[in-house]
Amino acid sequence: QQQVKQSPQSLIVQKGGIPIINCAYENTAFDYFPWYQQFPGKGPALLIAIRPDVSEKKEGRFTISFNKSAKQFSLHIMDSQPGDSATYFCAASSPDSWGKLQFGAGTQVVVTP
Amino acid sequence: DSGVTQTPKHLITATGQRVTLRCSPRSGDLSVYWYQQSLDQGLQFLIQYYNGEERAKGNILERFSAQQFPDLHSELNLSSLELGDSALYFCASSHRGRGDYGYTFGSGTRLTVV
């Protein structure tokens, strides 16, 4: 059972566009929501993370929007570049989970030149 | 280089065999997490060790086992291998027992069972 549901499965945008990836969760005990970026042949790398007491967080061209009441959060990639082409995973963990992250299924993003 | 070292990078073995995957965490990190990544299952949590002790267990098969040694490196043992065990196996580490400061993943071991 997928505790974190991620959509879309894949998306293609032109350079400069804003790909948006959405995630939804059910477990209200989750209190940490990171996003990971994975390039082919590499391990996932932490991109940005948010806690439920914040509705938005920006780091460079990456922004997380968080809607606690809807139990949804999303990643926006501003001014996307071909180098942003990768698979993106959302995840969540709860305080009692000893750090175990529940990952979404992943979104393959392709940014065309 | 993330600081988490996994060996070997690639492994091809036959069904029924046993293999050992090795992980050296980032310097100073006490927690090691093992994940399996397959095309149809995404990233699945297997098991976590903190300073030598098992702390959390996920969907790890009975044919799989792991341990963390006093020098904090960890090994994942996979036995009686089946074709369906073919996947990428990732190790990640974090300093504390909680992962809420972000894991650091290794580059993974690609296991192919033939």
pLDDT in tens, B48-94: 999 999 998 988 999 999 999 999 999 999 999 999 999 999 999 98
Give tens-digit pLDDT for B90-112: 999 987 655 556 789 999 999 99
Pick from B84, B37, B92: nearest CA to A105? B37
A100 near B CB under 8 A: yes
CB–CB of A100 and B58 under 8 A?
Answer: yes
Task: Enter the tokens of residue B82.
Answer: 């089946």
Residue A111 has pLDDT above 80, yes or no: yes
- pLDDT at residue A47 is higher than 70: yes
Partners of B68 in the β-ladder = B74
By the CB < 8 Å criterion, does B28 face chain A?
no
Cβ neighbourhood burial of B40 (10 Å; 0-12, 13-18, 19+): exposed
A99–B56 C-beta distance less than 8 A? yes
DSSP B98: S
Query: Shortest CB distance from A43 goes to which of B42, B90, B98?
Result: B90
Cβ B108 vs Cβ B37: under 8 Å = yes
